Structure 1
Amino acid sequence: MPDQEQNRAQQILGDAAPELVRLTDDVLCGPVWADQGLSQRDCGLVTVAALVTLYRPEQLDSHLRPALSNGLSKEELVAALTHLAFYAGWPSAMSAMTRLKAITEE
Structure 2
Amino acid sequence: MTEPATPAHDLIGDFAPKLAALTDDVLFGDVWARPALRPRDRSLITCAALVVNGNVEQLRHHLTLAIANGVTAAVITEVITHLAFYAGWPRAMSAIAVAREVTAGRDR
Q: Please confirm whether the aligned pair reaches a TM-score higher than 0.5, indicating the same fold.
A: yes
What does 1:6-45 align with in structure 2 at a 5 Å threshold? 6-45=5-44
Question: What SS is found at the alignment partner of 2:32?
Answer: helix
Residue correspondence of structure 1 range 1-106 to structure 2 within 5 A: 5-105=4-104
Structure number, greater radius of gyration: 2
CA distance in 2, matches of 1:37, 1:28: 15
Q: CA deviation at 1:10?
A: 1.7
Deviation at 1:103, TM superposition (A): 1.1
Contact 1:8 1:62 in 2 (8 A): no
Instruction: Give me the CA root mean square deviation.
Output: 1.2
**Distance in 2 between residues matched to 1:82 and 1:51, nearest whole Å:** 14
**TM-score relative to the length of structure 2:** 0.89
Tell me how many residue pairs correspond in the alignment.
102
After the TM superposition, which parts of structure 1 deviate over 6 Å for at least 4 consecutive aligned residues? none
1:36 maps to a residue whose letter is P
- Residue identity over aligned pairs, in percent, reads 47
Displacement of 1:7 in angstroms is: 2.6
After TM superposition, the score normalised by the length of structure 1 is: 0.91
Unaligned runs of 5+ in 1: none
